[in-house]
Structure 1
């Protein structure tokens, strides 16, 4: 929820200061003034302060009249004075009671892309301003970056903006500029359609449906988002499966091949995983388990054979034992050295990764601070005091060297950080290559050590055997076969480990796929339809009050496709829904717009929705709608804006008529002439 509390406009010439202060309250607020006096200026200033002018169109021009941009005078017959500086300030509050003052220059030294904020009610209470924070708008990242104002505003509203599809196939957040045409009806284009009009330049697919789904907090939108999340999870699991499958194939390639492992996971594999590792053995492909059985049987056969006695081979065996001991000592020393080298390089690699991550964070913050400084923010000067200009924490001299020119400090920091990033990324790449090389050396040395340990073990055992033990040739074959067996068992163990991972991936894939299929189709749920029916009933009630005559109010329904109003008609004995098109009078189109927007806000009372509880109408008395209908609309607006909700209306109806209609049920701010009037210098700040 958002509530507007106070609006301040200031426009300065060489000799005078012009301005207006408009307090707002919960409920209905009416800005009353004659035509061409500045009512639209006030309401559009709200949109400008919120950085939402692109909700009115793709142009980047300031949507405020010449009195805030070029020239101004007090009375129509007075000569104009040139505007040298002007700004807009707006005080807002959210459902948590947080209050923030927004400041945005119109004409001045600071860029119009800079929005400055202060905590606390300094406009409505005239208390000293609290902590300052600056943001940027109308640039890439303003909806997602830490220093982007719309990212801040969405968080302030407690909105978790959905990710939506664009026409070019990419995705983006549902930008605030797309949502606010359903909250603010501006005078020029706002009355041209019942919904919106929505900005098409954002290229969001089905933008009307996406906005309404979000504001009404429909389950179908949540299901669509859940569907996207599950599809992303399935895609990630397929990637993991592919990686593990590749690892399995590489492990099998050391001795043979693998068969029976599917390209993609399946529920069958999750329930009963099977794997077929094969070796090309004696001219044909044979299962690894069968080869292990054959090799083991051969070793047993050799050990049982009688070829040459141990007594005859003892001198040679003793010599080999001595040689193996020497080799083992050398290999052990090599392994210890490689192990230490690997540990040291691992620590260096971790330190380099931390350094690169820290440099990337510092670079991004300095770039954001540079952007704010270029827009006119003075917060970037903290850099000269060795304080981060974005998080306000201390920064070492290495990243923020002291310089005389503050304007150059950030530029030099960014250049230095980029050079450091390039250096450390190169060092990190070299470190990773060294780690791979050391790991390969370690594995080779360890394999040699294990092989020689096995040989030594067999020879020692042989020296303790009876004299009728097998000869040296038999022993060598036994040793070779034993090494072969060990290698096969190692590959088999790795395969079993990967098999466990593949089974886990397949189980997660099956669960995600099942949850995806359980989601309902991209249609309204029963709860969604209940909301739409409630909204439809509210619209009909409003239309009855406003004197809607083009159709019977009970004939108006809402499309389940895009939630636009339809008319129920009898076609050959059947009731069908048809587009309203041009069958409705211009004044009734205005009445329908009133009913639609107020009913959307009223839905907050009975349902959980994302509507912020604010609706703004600029000159609702369009198309020469009867005053009786307009006053009935104002009475309805005062009743609709309850429980902290807020409606803002500008009108040129006389103060007497508005006051007689609303009495004490609204906050009426009346201006007899131009809203921007000369103010004393002490009141200009």
Structure 2
């Protein structure tokens, strides 16, 4: 927090120096006049200018400052050209450290982006030569570089600004220029809506929401950060689960005829005694992989126990095996041809369904566009749409049936509903057909592999049959080798799946932890602590509305929205149904309530400026209540009211003497001349 101690404005013309200099109270400060254009707003704007926060006035640098500080200044009815202008602002932070800031709207030697900081009071700066440090503002790095003024100012105030997302996908600090819109309500745009002057060119997503979260001290930003981290971690765990599952499926698919049971697409906690089931089918019976391995070993043992594995001793067995394999080859080849034919038909059916879905999507888009045009008042083909002749206006049917047949033609809305229903049915059919095509392709791959193995075996047997009868049977040796390779491959498959299943068990346990962490966080990021803050804001806001005589709607129906933290009635913006004068009361109430809540829970800059708060002819009784509330607020923070009063209106009569400071301007505030003093 900071306190504005003193302001000094110096304007040089060709022949004299015009000044304003005054100190401010730590509570309520009223800068008043009985007519406009006396310079009340200039005081507030120069405070903003020295702090580098003038962007909420609609411009940056010298363009945000009134002409009196950069082009023409008036004294005694005479306009004079401004040659040079300097502004000095003394501020104090909550630790009692005092600095004086100098910034010049117009200066031959000083650019407007230059800010000088003296580590002493304004009196010291004016009375003797003091050291200073120069910073820059409104340029790249001003919020983070060592010589960036806002980086310095944030540290001096004690702000720890969070990092927020932009619409470009980047992250930036929640710039102090956006926060000040909660603490300075300028006299033009500032009274049109809550936080109406907040700059939007920083492209911060939901900028008002983010600013209010920070000022109110809500933990939403931190909760959302934790939620996103937990969600990303859970998503990563789910991805790891899917990767391992796909790895298992890939290994199983490489083994023709084998399938696996027990895998699921979604993670879960796997019990210790739960294991996947790898099996194949033999004679329509399920055989576990371990049983297949044992059976292969039996075959190997039987072959090894045979004596003299010469070709002449195996001719009968070779002929028998050749006949069996030839029959299998013929059957598998026939099955392969049938499956390929089936695949072609199923693929054609799938293509037809996809083409139909594309046509329906096109028809849906066209019908929805036509419905939108009609609702917007399009006259294009209007009579045809209404089933009337565009020439004579008589009723016609938009159909090729005879006019005598009273055939009902669907309306556009009915067509859209019909197309949506048809699309849903086709999408379901498409998914089923897609799975069927995929299964056919997998079956073809397995058949091709099986045919290749049988063909290889047939070639070896035939080679044996034409070889020397006393030679060792090549098919015998190859059979043993093939069986051993098959056994080794199945054992490796079993071991690989066991290892991968162990990984799944660990991933499932981690998934449970990640899921629990995510479930503990509120999905709307509002925890009980935040609810208490918003409840207090809501109560204080409605109390102030009552005191300010708000009448546009029943106050008991008004609530602070827990998404954007702004006042609403039944989910609608409160401003929308409020009169112009009640809109002002809404802003009074909300900003004052915001100051009180931020002082207790959140982040408060330490000062509040209301520039001409009596907009839209707010009645005097409400204005008196406003001043009373601001006086009370001044007990905890500094308040400035820049106010055009009516003489003898009694606005300040209810305020205790000495409870506030008043600077009243009968003439222009910047009119005191150094030469007049001399």
Q: TM-score, normalised by structure 2?
A: 0.57
> Post-superposition shift, 1:582?
4.0
Secondary structure at 1:623 match in 2: helix
1:627 maps to what in 2? 620
| Matching of residues 224-623 of structure 1 within 5 Å | 224-231=224-231, 511-512=513-514, 514-546=516-548, 548-551=549-552, 554-555=555-556, 557-561=558-562, 562-567=564-569, 579-586=574-581, 588-604=582-598, 607-623=600-616
Q: Which deviations, in whole Å up to 9, do the C-alpha atoms of 1:197-242 show, x marking residues without a partner?
A: 4333333332222221211112333311222344566789999999
Q: 2:272 & 2:102 partners in 1: Cα distance?
A: 62
Specify whether residues 82 and 610 from structure 1 end up closer, same or farther in structure 2 by C-alpha distance, changes over 3 A only. Answer: closer
CA contact (8 A) 1:31 1:669 kept: yes
Shift of 1:525: 2.9
TM-score, length of structure 1 as denominator length? 0.56
| Residue 600 of structure 1, CA deviation | 1.2
Does residue 670 of structure 2 align to residue 676 of structure 1?
yes
| Number of residue pairs aligned between Structure 1 and Structure 2 | 502
User: C-alpha displacement at 1:560, in angstroms?
Assistant: 1.7
Residue 87 (structure 2) aligns with? 88
Q: Which residue of 2 aligns with 1:450?
A: none
Q: CA deviation at 1:185?
A: 0.4
Which residue of 1 is the match for residue 122 of structure 2? 123
SS in 2 for 1:581: helix
> 2:660 pairs with 658, 661, 666, which one?
666
Tell me, yes or no, if structure 1 residue 647 matches structure 2 residue 646.
no
Could you tell me which residue of structure 2 aligns to residue 132 of structure 1?
Answer: 133
CA distance in 1, matches of 2:585, 2:677: 41
Measured after TM superposition, the shift of residue 88 of structure 1 is 2.1
Structure 1 match to 2:205: 205
> Considering only aligned residues, what root-mean-square deviation do their CA atoms show, in Å?
5.7
Q: In structure 2, what is the Cα distance between the partners aligned to 1:111 and 1:499?
A: 69
Query: How has the CA–CA distance of structure 1 residues 509 and 165 changed in structure 2, closer, same or farther, with 3 Å as cutoff?
Result: farther
2-structure distance, mates of 1:69, 1:678? 17
Shift of 1:110: 2.5
Task: Give unmatched runs, 5+ long, in structure 1.
Answer: 245-258, 275-497, 569-575
Could you tell me which residue of structure 2 aligns to residue 397 of structure 1? Answer: none
1:160, distance to aligned residue in structure 2 (A): 3.0
CA contact (8 A) 1:265 1:505 kept: no
Contact 2:101–2:118 (CA under 8 A) maintained in structure 1: no
In structure 2, C-alpha distance between the alignment counterparts of 1:67 and 1:557, rounded to whole Å: 43
| Cα distance in structure 2, aligned partners of 1:90 and 1:198 | 23
Q: In 2, are the aligned partners of 1:195 and 1:564 still within 8 Å (CA)? A: no
Distance 1:554 1:136, change over 3 A: closer
CA contact (8 A) 1:136 1:147 kept: no
Q: Which has the larger displacement, 608-617 or 53-62? A: 53-62
Q: Is the 8 A contact 2:567 2:573 kept in 1?
A: no
Distance 1:629 1:504, change over 3 A: same
**Structure 1 residue 670, shift from structure 2 partner:** 2.5
Residue 73 of structure 2 aligns with which residue?
Answer: 72
CA distance in 1, matches of 2:147, 2:194: 35
Distance 2:503 2:59 in 1: 51
What is the SS of the residue equivalent to 1:62?
helix
Deviations 1:428-466 (A, max 9, x none): xxxxxxxxxxxxxxxxxxxxxxxxxxxxxxxxxxxxxxx
Q: Write the distance in 1 (CA, Å) between the matches of 2:512 and 2:87.
A: 56
- Look up the match of 1:377: none
1:649 Cα deviation from its structure 2 partner: 0.9
